[in-house]
């Protein structure tokens, strides 16, 4: 049975929210968990949850509800880790120096086979470095990439690379296209994912050298995925593609700008409603409707991004992740394992 | 007195909306206009406006109002141009082939001194190529760049380069920083514009080589502008900077993603309100408030982007521009001329 290792010490709300998310996932998805981190901290959190449950807003901003789960019936084991890698540390140096850190031991749990996948909400750099170092690349993969999701008019789209590689070659983007397409198919249930190149114009000759060369390479290999050409930023979220490839710099800017625009707009809307008494009244009524959009655009629903191309499954969650996001990250990890995502990547990359 | 040349044939709504915008600007800003395009088409539009005015939604989506302006009292001259460069044409080839096109002759009007600046809503590539070829670079400028604006929590921010150069060097981004800072100061009235590098992390060592090298170069030259370091996409619009520099690929993706996210969110909001009768009622009341945000995020308010670094002022308007956007573009062009933006760029770049 698939077991998921979780770095219990990573992220802004560790260990409380991480442990709560782990308990929740173990209960809801009936999945065995391996919590990696300071034993006494984890035990204390588990005891607390045992006696009083935990609070969560279930992915909606607003009233929290108390969730009570009988922890004693769950399959949760603890692996002690002495150290924690902090956000400011240099990833490469930190994983070499802190061999007993929770992230390094979470990866080791997967490498050694005690778990099948891991979830990490701490330093993204450290999670990537530890995974690459501890699990190794899938044969044939030049560089692993982060596959993140963005909301769109219909189904979520996959953005790959979401930030693992600031400088890329067309060959790398070709591999991202294969991996992203498989992710979309296996985990998001899209039959023939439309794969596009993020570019500044729709014509083949538009954009920088990387985009132009990638276009040619994907066009030449369109028997391997459903290539739909260049996608411009203004059409990205309007159901024009299911997977978009770019280097990790552009991908990361895209993900973050999306987050920034959404928060700007919601702040401007709030400001408008707050500008008069009538506005406050209308705002109060409108809130129920606006809140329904939230799950569509909330990163917590997707739980995290997948690091694809390593021999193992690593789900990288947002540093701000709370229990609900961690629970969903475990679901993503479990699905990635059970659908055999890596096996399919290996087959297609021709390892 | 500053005269503005306008390519009357460029954009999705030419010549009607362009001519209407020109008339509106001539009236509202008391600025002489030179309309460049097919003489009979322009005359027909002017006659129509003379007899029945024109309709505009004044930058708000919704009810249009009829605007009547006494055209005979305005200083509008027409310069005939036989040809038009279409959107699909290769910019460089088209401007060489179509020497009598409206965009080439609009640029020529500025180069010859019959006008002081130009506004163009047709092919961006053709407007750039024609300007670069017809006006030349300001001495010392490596490559001209597009300075576009984005709405933010408070004042609009300048994104430079918005798409003129897909591949850039740190030196180019340093020049963009100087030009963008002057734009923000002169045209947006920001005293000491905060200049940042668009990047995927806040630390100096984050991002690709271009971002890292640019950081160093701007840091070393921070006596020339108010350098505030790296800016991440999620914080870009939240009052963290006034000018952000990037290569034209990343800048263009950023501008377009912003547009895309805004349209996605408004569509999702509309969908929610439309989902029930009560929703429709609330939506109707909320509409008035949501509409007030529109001018804050509407490109038409800013009229267009400036091509900076050429010996002349070229305002590049959105292809979808209607009269209201063209009117505002003329205002931007006039302000750029009258505040001596290019003189200041020349002084600081050390031409």
Q: What is the pLDDT of residues A199-222, one digit of tens each?
A: 999 888 889 999 999 999 999 999
Residue contact A290–B297, C-beta within 8 A: no
Asked if B5 reaches chain A (Cβ–Cβ under 8 Å), the answer is no
The interface residues of chain A toward chain B in range 169-228, judged by CB-CB distance below 8 A, are: 198, 200, 207-209, 211
* A116 Cα to chain B: minimum distance (Å): 30
- pLDDT of B295 > 80? The answer is no
Radius of gyration in angstroms for the set of CA atoms belonging to chain A, rounded to a whole number: 21
Separation of alpha carbons A124 and A214, rounded Å: 26
Confidence (pLDDT) at B268: 86
Convert the pLDDT of each residue in B173-197 to its tens digit: 999 999 999 999 999 999 999 999 9
Confidence of residue B269 (pLDDT cuts 50, 70, 90): confident
Separation of alpha carbons B101 and B84, rounded Å: 5
Confidence (pLDDT) at B160: 98
Confidence of residue A192 (pLDDT cuts 50, 70, 90): very high
Confidence (pLDDT) at B351: 54
Chain A residues touching B263 at Cβ < 8 A: 234, 238
Q: Are B308 and B175 in contact (CB under 8 A)?
A: no
Q: Are B191 and B158 in contact (CB under 8 A)?
A: no
C-alpha torsion A82→A88→A89→A95, nearest 10: 60
Confidence of residue A263 (pLDDT cuts 50, 70, 90): confident
| Chain A residue with Cα closest to B272 | A289
The interface residues of chain B toward chain A in range 126-145, judged by CB-CB distance below 8 A, are: none
Separation of alpha carbons A62 and A47, rounded Å: 26
Q: What's the rounded mean pLDDT across residues B270-283? A: 84
Chain A residues touching B253 at Cβ < 8 A: 198, 200, 233, 250, 253-254
Residues 6+ apart with CB under 8 A from B99: none
| Chain B residue with Cα closest to A166 | B208
Separation of alpha carbons A260 and A327, rounded Å: 25
Chain A residues touching B252 at Cβ < 8 A: 200, 233
* Strands, E assignment, chain A: 4-7, 33-37, 54-56, 65-67, 76-80, 117-120, 145-150, 157-160, 194-199, 226-232, 243-245, 305-308, 313-316
Out of A207, A269, A289, the one facing B166 most closely (by C-beta) is A207
Asked if B152 reaches chain A (Cβ–Cβ under 8 Å), the answer is yes
Confidence (pLDDT) at A289: 78
Between β-strands A117-120 and A313-316, what pairing exists: parallel, antiparallel or unpaired? parallel
Residue contact A253–B256, C-beta within 8 A: no
ipTM exceeding 0.85, yes/no: yes
- Strand order of the β-sheet with A226-232 is A76-80, A33-37, A4-7, A117-120, A313-316, A305-308, A145-150, A157-160, A243-245, A194-199, A226-232
End-to-end CA distance of chain B: 26
- pLDDT of A351 > 70? The answer is no
Convert the pLDDT of each residue in A239-250 to its tens digit: 999 999 999 999
For chain A, give the percent of residues with pLDDT over 70.
97
The tokens of B211 are what? 């971002």
Q: Are A345 and A183 in contact (CB under 8 A)?
A: no
The interface residues of chain B toward chain A in range 267-286, judged by CB-CB distance below 8 A, are: 267-269, 272-273, 275, 279, 282-283, 285-286
Convert the pLDDT of each residue in B214-243 to its tens digit: 999 999 999 999 999 999 999 999 999 999
The alpha helices in chain B, defined as continuous H runs, are 16-28, 39-52, 91-97, 102-111, 124-135, 170-188, 209-220, 248-273, 277-297, 299-302, 323-338, 341-349
* A83 Cα to chain B: minimum distance (Å): 24
Confidence of residue A266 (pLDDT cuts 50, 70, 90): confident
Confidence (pLDDT) at A169: 98
Convert the pLDDT of each residue in A105-116 to its tens digit: 999 999 999 999
Convert the pLDDT of each residue in A48-66 to its tens digit: 999 999 988 877 766 788 9
Asked if A287 reaches chain B (Cβ–Cβ under 8 Å), the answer is no
DSSP B80: E
Asked if A239 reaches chain B (Cβ–Cβ under 8 Å), the answer is no
Disruptive mutation site among A208, A213, A232, A257 for chain B (greatest number of B CBs within 10 Å): A257
Q: What's the rounded mean pLDDT across residues A137-152? A: 94
Convert the pLDDT of each residue in B95-151 to its tens digit: 999 999 999 999 999 999 999 999 999 999 999 999 999 999 999 999 999 999 998
The tokens of B308 are what? 């900076």
- Helices A102-111 and A124-135 sit at what angle, rounded to 10 degrees? 30
Confidence (pLDDT) at A288: 79
- Please give the residue that has the higher pLDDT: either A97 or B294: A97
Residue contact B265–A297, C-beta within 8 A: yes
Between β-strands B65-67 and B54-56, what pairing exists: parallel, antiparallel or unpaired? antiparallel
The tokens of B251 are what? 């800048």
| Chain B residue with Cα closest to A266 | B265
End-to-end CA distance of chain A: 26
Q: What's the rounded mean pLDDT across residues A159-186? A: 97
Indicate the range of A34-38, A64-68, B79-83, B187-191 predicted with least confidence.
Answer: A64-68
Confidence (pLDDT) at A244: 98
Chain B residues touching A159 at Cβ < 8 A: none
* B126 Cα to chain A: minimum distance (Å): 14
Indicate the range of B18-22, B247-251, B298-302 predicted with least confidence.
Answer: B298-302
Diameter over CA atoms, chain A: 65
Indicate the range of A87-96, A333-342, B73-82 predicted with least confidence.
Answer: A87-96
The tokens of A120 are what? 């990490």
DSSP B137: B
């Amino acid at each position: 049975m698939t077991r998921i290792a979780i770095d219990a010490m990573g992220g802004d709300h560790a260990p409380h929210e991480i442990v709560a998310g782990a308990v929740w996932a173990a209960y809801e998805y009936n999945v065995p968990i391996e919590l990696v981190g300071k034993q006494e901290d984890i035990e204390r959190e588990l005891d607390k949850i045992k006696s009083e449950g935990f609070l969560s807003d279930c992915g909606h901003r607003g009233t929290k509800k108390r969730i009570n789960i009988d922890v004693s019936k769950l399959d949760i084991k603890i692996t002690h880790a002495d150290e924690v890698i902090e956000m400011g540390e240099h990833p490469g140096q930190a994983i070499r120096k802190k061999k007993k850190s929770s992230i390094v031991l979470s990866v080791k749990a997967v490498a050694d086979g005690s778990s099948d996948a891991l979830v990490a909400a701490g330093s993204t750099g450290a999670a990537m470095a530890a995974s690459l170092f501890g699990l190794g690349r899938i044969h044939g993969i030049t560089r692993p990439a982060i596959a993140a999701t963005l909301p769109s008019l219909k189904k979520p789209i996959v953005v790959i690379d979401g930030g693992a590689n600031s400088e890329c070659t067309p060959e790398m983007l070709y591999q991202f296209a294969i991996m992203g397409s498989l992710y979309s198919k296996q985990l998001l249930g899209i039959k023939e994912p439309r794969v596009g190149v993020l570019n500044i114009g729709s014509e083949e000759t538009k954009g920088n050298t990387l985009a132009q060369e990638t276009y040619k390479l994907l066009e030449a290999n369109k028997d391997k995925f459903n290539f739909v050409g260049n996608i411009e930023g203004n059409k990205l979220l309007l159901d024009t593609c299911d997977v978009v490839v770019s280097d990790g710099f552009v991908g990361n800017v895209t993900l973050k700008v999306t987050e920034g625009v959404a928060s700007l707009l919601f702040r401007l809307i709030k400001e408008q409603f707050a500008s008069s008494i009538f506005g406050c009244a209308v705002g109060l009524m409108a809130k129920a409707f606006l809140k329904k959009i939230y799950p569509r655009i909330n990163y917590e629903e997707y739980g995290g991004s997948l690091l694809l191309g390593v021999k193992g499954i690593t789900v990288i969650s947002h540093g701000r992740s709370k229990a609900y996001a961690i629970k969903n990250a475990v679901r993503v990890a479990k699905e990635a394992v059970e659908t055999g995502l890596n096996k399919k990547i290996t087959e297609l990359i021709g390892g």
